Amino acid sequence: MTGTGSYTVARPSSPRATTAARGKSTRPKSIGWLFVAPFGLVFLVFLVAPLVYAFWLSLFSKGLATGTTFSGIGNYVKAFTDTEFLGGLLFVVVFSVVLIPLQMLVSLAAALVLDAVTTKLARFSRLMIFVPYAIPAVIGALMWGFLYSPGFGPLAQLFGLFHASAPNLLGSHEVFGALLNVVTWQWSGYYMIIIYAALQGIDSSLYEAARIDGAGPWQIALRIKVPLVASALVLILVFALIGTLQFFTEPQVLAPSSNGAITPSFTPNMYAYNLAFANSQINYASAISFALGLVVFIGVYIFLFATRKKGRIV
């Protein structure tokens, strides 16, 4: 029983994984290109080309009198001094800082409980917690919008019991929490499943060893399980960060019923969308889109570089 410690996390990979693709075999190597090429084409046409084209567009400005003129980094200078863009950027950053720990706490707690309890109720709960992932964000936002609204939702009724009037959950102060709730509801189940799957991959003999050493269930959860699913947590954090900085659907859907609390420049993506479609400023919208994508990409890359052990992925 003492040797159990050596059977650490059950990674599905064998030593073969590392020798794959080193090409010691007799297979022709360059034929790999043929397999990668179809995706490569889509990659070039729908990822590289739009980015290059948007960057090109962002270098021009359109004026009423002057027409389209080359303005170099003018649009970027404008963006990073534009209070509407910066306000939106600040919002998504602050929103991420509050949302992500909350989401991770909910999903980690749910996953740990589901890993420890194996009753029918637990299996049922696991599915039900995951269900919101299968629901489009538009519909998630619509449903919560209805629940928040005094006309459709239960709030007026609930507060009526205490002879109080229901708060406007989409007011300018409350909208932050209202959106926080929608996004937590939408994504926690998905993150829970990822953590749960990682927890299930842990060799259970580790828990036995810990129990013999006198660890209680809380200690096993916090000292063994959580550290061993750290890479799943990093993955979730990155997903959540990328998604939240690009926040668009939920505020866009809730905007009409928010009485102006959700402005057209509420998030950078909403701003870019409204610039492109309501104001026909495609050049400036491209600059905003590009700047935002770059900020997210660099931020995430730095984060991954700082947290991931070197040479882990490539």
Partner 1 sequence: MTAIGIKTADKAVQSVRGRAKPKPRIGAHVFLIVLVIYFLLPLWWLIVASTKDAHGLFSGTGGALWFDKTFALFDNLGLLFTYNGGIYLRWLGNSLLYAVSGGVGATALAILAGYGFAKFAFPGRRLSLALLLGSVMVPLTALVIPTFAMLSQVGMTNTIWAVILPSLLNPFGVYLMMVYATDAIPDELLDAARVDGAGELRTFLTVALPLLRPAAVTVLLLSVVGTWNNYFLPLAVLSSDNLFPVTVGLGLWDGLANSASGTGTTSLWSLIILGSLVSIIPLIVAFLSLQRYWRGGLAVGSLK
CB of 90 to partner 1, least distance (A): 18
Location of structure tokens 């309890």: 117
CB of 236 to partner 1, least distance (A): 8
CB of 309 to partner 1, least distance (A): 11
Contact 286, 58 (CB under 8 A): yes
Is the CB of 12 or the CB of 67 nearer to partner 1? Answer: 12
Which pair of tokens denotes residue 230?
A: 């750290």
Is the CB of 5 or the CB of 65 nearer to partner 1? Answer: 5
* Helix, coil or strand: residue 154: coil
Is the CB of 12 or the CB of 65 nearer to partner 1? Answer: 12
Is the CB of 87 or the CB of 257 nearer to partner 1? Answer: 257
Instruction: Quote the CA–CA distance of 131 and 56 in Å, as a whole number.
Output: 42
CB of 300 to partner 1, least distance (A): 5
CB of 78 to partner 1, least distance (A): 16
Strand intervals (E) in the chain: 60-63, 67-70
Task: Enumerate the β-bridge partners of residue 69.
Answer: 61
Dihedral sign from CA coordinates of 198, 204, 210, 211? positive
Instruction: Quote the CA–CA distance of 204 and 226 in Å, as a whole number.
Output: 14
CB of 228 to partner 1, least distance (A): 10
CB of 74 to partner 1, least distance (A): 18
Is the CB of 65 or the CB of 76 nearer to partner 1? Answer: 76
- What is the number of alpha carbons within 13 Å of residue 37 lying toward its C-beta? 6
Dihedral sign from CA coordinates of 190, 191, 193, 194? positive
Is the CB of 91 or the CB of 273 nearer to partner 1? Answer: 273
* Helix, coil or strand: residue 263: coil
From residue 26, alpha-carbon distances to 17, 21, 29, 31, 100 in Å are 18, 11, 9, 12, 48
Is the CB of 102 or the CB of 242 nearer to partner 1? Answer: 242
